[in-house]
A = this chain, B = another copy of it.
Amino acid sequence: MINKNMYALGANRSCIRELFEYGRQRAAVVGAENVFDYSLGNPSIPAPAGVNEAIKAVLEEMPSLAIHGYTSAPGDLPLRQAVAEDLNARYDAGVRPGDLFIGCGAAPELVSVIRALAVENSEFIAVAPFFPEYRPFVESSGGKLVVVPADIPNFQIDFAALEAALNANTQAIILNSPNNPAGTVYTAETLGKLAALLEKKSAEFGKTIYIISDEPYRELVYGGVTAPWIPGIYDSTVVCYSWSKSLSLPGERIGYVYVPEKCADHDDLYAAVAGAARAGGHVCAPSLIQKVIARCVQLRPDLQAYDENRRLLSEALRSYGYEMARPDGAFYLFVKAPVGSSKDFSEKAKLEDLLLVPGDDFGCPEYFRICYCVSRDLIERSLPIFEKLVKE
Contacts and interface: CB of A to CB of B under 8 A. Distances in A.
Contact of A6 (B5, B9, B43, B275): B275
Contacts of A2: 116-117, 119, 265, 268-269, 272
A299 interface: no
Contacts of A40: 70
A7 B268 contact: yes
Given A251-B287, A280-B108, A1 B64 contact: no
A7 B266 CA distance: 12
A288 interface: yes
- The dominant DSSP class at the A interface is helix
A273 B70 CA distance: 25
Contact of A272 (B10, B67, B286): B10
A275 B105 contact: no
A252 B108 contact: no
A282 interface: yes
A46 interface: yes
Interface string A179-217: 000000000000000000000000000010000000000
Interface stretch (A51-59, A221-229, A333-341, A361-369): A51-59
A136 interface: yes
A153 interface: no
B279 A9 contact: yes
Interface in A1-48: 1-11, 40, 42-44, 46-47
B55 A271 contact: no
A46 B59 contact: no
A368 to B, nearest CB: 22
Interface string A339-364: 00000000000000000000000000
Contact of A250 (B69, B119, B253, B290): B69
A268 B11 CA distance: 8
A164 interface: no
A252 B116 contact: no
Contacts of A275: 5-11
Contact of A10 (B51, B117, B278, B289): B278
B111 A10 contact: no
A136 to B, nearest CB: 5
Nearest to A7: B272
Interface string A129-153: 0000100110010000000000000
B52 A65 contact: no
A278 B136 contact: yes
A272 B3 contact: yes
A280 B283 contact: no
Interface of A: 1-11, 40, 42-44, 46-47, 51-52, 55-56, 59, 63-65, 67-71, 104-105, 107-112, 115-119, 122, 133, 136-137, 140, 171, 207, 248-253, 265, 268-290
22 contacts: A1-B117, A1-B207, A3-B119, A6-B115, A6-B273, A9-B274, A10-B272, A10-B275, A10-B277, A42-B65, A46-B65, A52-B67, A55-B55, A65-B248, A70-B250, A70-B251, A104-B281, A107-B281, A109-B281, A111-B280, A133-B278, A251-B287
